[in-house]
Amino acid sequence: MKAADLKTLAQLAEQAAAIAADFIRQYSHGDITVELKSGMSSKASEVVTWVDLQCQTLILNHLQESIAHYDLGLLTEELPDDGSRLTKDYFWCIDPLDGTLAFTERRPGYAVSIALVSRTGVPMIGVVHEPITDQRIVAVRGQGVQSSLERTLDNQATPDQLICCLDHVMAEHPRYAALRTMLDELTHSQALTSTRYISGAGAVLQACQASLHEHAVFFKIPKVTQGGGCIWDYAATACIFEELGYHVTDLYGAPLQLNNPKSLYMNHCGVLYSSRKELAQDIIDWFQSIER
């Protein structure tokens, strides 16, 4: 796809995300009816609201013409996978409201995420829009990153800390104690003052917040049960991290499988984002040592 086409599609995605964010902001107060999806591995992945569904409709309405004009596939969280991602050269990958649990609990941590991904799994465009503060970040492959995003999850973090963005459910993982020990040792080896943990947000905003700190990591450990996030949780932020020159792989150090024909989920491989590549390598080494 030509650079000019990518730029045009990025602008469309940015507009669509802004429309959805405006809608979300209208319903950021008051009670919201919550439904639960079946077969999910955590409360955060179970929760869906009519706001999620309406945001998806608004985004698709704005992107529909581009789907026809560029012959694009589609993968979006609140619709079944129609397989077009495996037959088209590129597909829109949409999470209309990532962090729905945070949204229903009326706390920061949710965002709109739209990506364009190639059939080979390369993220070409990444757009994230944070509705509460109306901030956004846009990345286009080979064209850099534009961002107005600021720290929204933890304003008290300092440059001499190791920032670790982890899910609440990570505390239930059988290797959580070993994980905490490893991170404390990593903090010490990097001559940092302390380890600071940030949790409670969706995967999209956790990754974005990690990109704003000098020493930061965001990752999920592989697990047997289905879960660990889906393609739409990581496609946009993977593009952002790659354009920033930061680290983004699975926990084995391999590129993220952003168009795996066998599964939408990442539980088999985990994910690893870091604002410093040497931090990421230390975590990969640790994970490989406990896997032996």
Q: Which residues are annotated as a binding site for Mg(2+)?
A: 77, 95, 97-98, 233
Read off the tokens for 198. 């940030």
CA distance linking residue 184 with residue 192, whole number of Å: 10
Rg (CA), the chain: 18
> Which residue type sits at 257?
Q
Give the three-class secondary structure for 271: strand
Q: Which residues are annotated as a binding site?
A: 77, 95, 97-98, 233
Q: Identify the helix (H) or strand (E) that includes residue 46.
A: helix 43-46
> Which residue type sits at 241?
F
CA-based angle 58:18:205, to the nearest 5?
105
Give the three-class secondary structure for 150: coil
Q: What are phi and psi of 75, to 5 degrees?
A: -140, 120
CA distance linking residue 115 with residue 235, whole number of Å: 6
Q: Identify the helix (H) or strand (E) that includes residue 237.
A: helix 231-244
User: 233 near 48, Cβ under 8 Å?
Assistant: no
Give the three-class secondary structure for 154: coil
User: 175 near 221, Cβ under 8 Å?
Assistant: yes
Q: Identify the helix (H) or strand (E) that includes residue 220.
A: strand 216-220
Region of residue 121 (left: phi > 0; alpha: psi -120 to 50; beta: else)? left
CA distance linking residue 282 with residue 269, whole number of Å: 17
